[in-house]
Chains A and B, each alone.
Chain A
Amino acid sequence: MTNHIPVLIITLPLIAAFLQPVTGFAGFKLRNLVIITILLVLNGLLFMLVPDVALQGKTIYYTMGASDPSQFTQPGISFPVRIVLKIDSFSLFTGIIVGVVTLTTFLFSTGTVKEDKRKSYFSTLFLLFTAGLMGMSFTNDLFNFFVFLEISSISGAALVAYRTYRKHAPYAGYKYILISTIATTFFLFGVGICYAQYGSFNIQYINSVLAHSYLDKVAMLFIIVAMAMKAGSVPMHMWVPDTYAEAPASISAMLKASGMVTLCAMFRFTFSLFGPSSSGAGKINYETLGWIVIVLGVLSMFIGVTMALIQHDVRRLMAFHAVSQTGYMLLGVGVGIAVFAKGDGGAAFKAFGKMAMVGGIFHIMNNAFYKNLLFLTSGVMERRFGTRNLNGMIGLGHRDTLTTVVFMIGALAIAGIPPFNGFDSKLLIYESVYKFSPVLAIIAMFVSVMTLASFMKVFYSSFMGPRRDDLIVEGAPLTKGTKAGLIILAALIILTGLFPGIIVDGIIEPAVTALTQIR
């Protein structure tokens, strides 16, 4: 049983998704209970893997359909022939993010997304989205990755356009699927170039025989730029505010998680697929690649935050912050990439490069939590006032104490104020990036200040001020599930912020080690 965990993690939401029309007949409450149970089991399975994988550094393989699934290659064949799932510390880290985000988001959406009893479009698509993201985290096969990417894109686009009665929602879904299709087409083209030369889709096998020819570099370019586009980094970010603003609040959070997973996949391709291999003849210039990532990151940070400052649509504002926070991760990991293969025998990488990567990867996790929380609270605001415009909101703090408190926690965390988790990862990024280039660290700090300023704007205009009951269109109190989702996320933010050492040593640092391992 235990050696089938990797495939169970992917197939459980997939099976549950297609069971939805059946369980839909049993009623709304029972169906939600089933889904919550499945997501809890999913999280349990993920955390069961933590002691083996993260703490002891094992790598679990799962070969689909083989007689002994835990072997990477089958007896008698020197290369892998089937679809192989691989769980090392990094993919486990990605999986944990997806698990936590889906659980809390679904808890939130039980109270907010209205659905007919017999129809199960939302929950079906939601579980398909989960399955796609889980598959993207764990697969070791390029074409399989493409399939999961398409699953998540199609279900994501359908969810973005879920409220088809709204004027702009279908067009936002169209934008998302258009971007996804462009990105996946180029991704598949890059995969084809890899396959043409090495005759395999297995990431680890391709890496072990990689020759770093010009064609490989073209393939790397297509794959990495396509992934950066899906993750929403400047200058390929214009779809982010348009899409996130029109989606339901819980789906914005899921799209953010999807962006994080894509970003993790991009880093994984940088190191595990195109990284230095034992047979490598002409190597990729890692410094240039790192600078490309750093430039994308700095542009994302700056343009994202300055555009966020002038928005008065709360969801567009938060979407621009999503772009801006993506910049931090790109900056941290980009510094790590830039010094990764420097000529000094890895001295710079040991001194601050690894720290920068730890900061960037840690920021992915923190960002997934607090950005999720902020999107969910924006959903509450939108429900209360019936508009996304901040000019039409005032005085919510008198009504919803819980929402106010969790919004404050999220806003302080995103701005990097000490006891919350944004502070820890941002501090790691500042300190290590300062040793690489002081200017970049100063830009990062400036962006952090602007982040605080724009969240002050949201807090001032929507929560402060006199109580105005005449503006409230829906005054029903939050359901238990909604509250539970918000509280879990806020608790995670505070706990991660107070005890960063446990998370960093237990999950993040093994993940970075697994990522930068040279075979």
Chain B
Amino acid sequence: MLSIFLYVTVVSLLILSITSVIYKRNLIKLVIALNIAESSVNLFFITLAYRPDSTAPIFTLAPALQELRMVLPSPQALILTNIVIGFATTALMLVLAVITYKNNGTLDIRKLKGVEDHD
């Protein structure tokens, strides 16, 4: 029951972000939308790892329990990687957006869309 909320959140965030990638026109807004998509995938993995009535995957907490119940540690480790990768992607996209603005004077993709050497 608990995880239903979370899965619904994940799917609606993904749909929201992909919809805004289709309909939004500002380059920086697209970066925000992709960040939301990444967060939704992160939340998906953390939700997968969650087990009710268990403890964080830290070794010193384990002996306090009667039986060893931890949430799954490996998705959390992977999501740490994904957060960092997402930061790198965001930084690169923002840099490219800023240089695009400097070269073209606009951030609107409809004004940028003309192909120069098109027949």
Binding site for B on A (CB under 8 A): 143, 147, 150, 153-154, 157-158, 161, 164, 166-168, 170-171, 173-174, 177-178, 181-182, 185, 188-189, 192, 195-196, 199, 201, 242, 245, 310-313, 316, 388-389
* Complex Cα spacing A66 to B99, Å: 46
28 contacts between A and B (CB under 8 A): A143-B78, A154-B85, A158-B92, A170-B103, A171-B103, A173-B96, A174-B97, A174-B100, A177-B89, A177-B93, A181-B38, A182-B18, A182-B21, A182-B37, A185-B34, A185-B38, A185-B41, A192-B41, A195-B45, A195-B48, A195-B75, A196-B48, A201-B74, A245-B117, A310-B119, A312-B117, A388-B117, A389-B117
Q: How far is the CB of B32 from chain A (nearest CB, A)?
A: 12
Which of A181, A192, A312: most chain B Cβ within 10 A? A181
Flag if B34 contacts A178 (CB, 8 Å). Answer: yes
**Chain B residue nearest in CB terms to A157:** B92
> Contacts of A174 on B, CB cut-off 8 Å?
27, 93, 96-97, 100
User: What are the 10 tightest A-B residue pairs by CB atom distance, in nearest-first order?
Assistant: A313-B117, A170-B99, A174-B96, A171-B100, A170-B100, A170-B96, A185-B37, A310-B119, A150-B85, A173-B96
Main secondary structure of the interface of B (DSSP, over half): helix
Complex CA distance for A188 and B83, rounded to whole angstroms: 13
Interface pair B85/A171, CB less than 8 Å apart: no
Q: A171 and B112 in contact (CB under 8 A), knowing A185-B34, A192-B45, A311-B119?
A: yes
A430 to chain B minimum Cβ distance, whole angstroms, is 30
- The reply to whether B85 and A147 form a contact with Cβ atoms under 8 Å apart is yes
By a CB distance below 8 angstroms, the chain A residues around B74 are 201
Contact code string B10-51 (vs A, CB < 8 Å = 1, else 0) = 000010001001000001001000100110010011001000
Residue of A nearest to B14 (CB): A189
B76 within 8 Å of A (CB atoms)? no
A475 to B96, CA, bound (A): 32
Verify if B68 is at the interface (C-beta below 8 Å from A).
no
Interface residues on B, range: 35 or more
Which single member of A158, A188, A196 contacts B82 (CB below 8 Å)?
A188
Classify the interface of chain A: helix, strand, loop or mixed. helix
Inter-chain contacts of B38 with A (CB < 8 A): 181, 185
| B110 interface contact, C-beta 8 A | no
17 extra interchain contacts, Cβ-Cβ under 8 A, other than A177-B92, A181-B38, A316-B117? A157-B92, A170-B100, A171-B112, A174-B27, A177-B93, A178-B21, A178-B93, A181-B37, A181-B89, A185-B37, A192-B48, A195-B48, A195-B75, A201-B74, A245-B117, A311-B118, A312-B119
In the complex, the answer to whether B96 meets A177 with C-beta atoms within 8 Å is yes
Whole-angstrom distance from the CB of B54 to the nearest CB of chain A? Answer: 16
Give every chain A residue within 8 A of B116 (Cβ-Cβ): 168, 313
Closest A residue by C-beta to B78? A143
User: B81-110 interface mask toward A, CB cutoff 8 Å, 1 = contact, 0 = none?
Assistant: 110010011001100110110011000000
| B115 interface hit (Cβ, 8 Å) | yes
Supposing A182-B21, A182-B34 touch, asked if A313 and B118 sit within 8 A by C-beta, the answer is: yes
B100 to chain A: closest CB distance in Å? 5
Return chain A residues, CB-CB under 8 Å to B21.
Answer: 178, 182
Chain A hits for B81, CB < 8 A: 143, 147
Of the listed residues A147, A158, A170, A201, the one surrounded by the most CB atoms of chain B closer than 10 A to its CB is A170
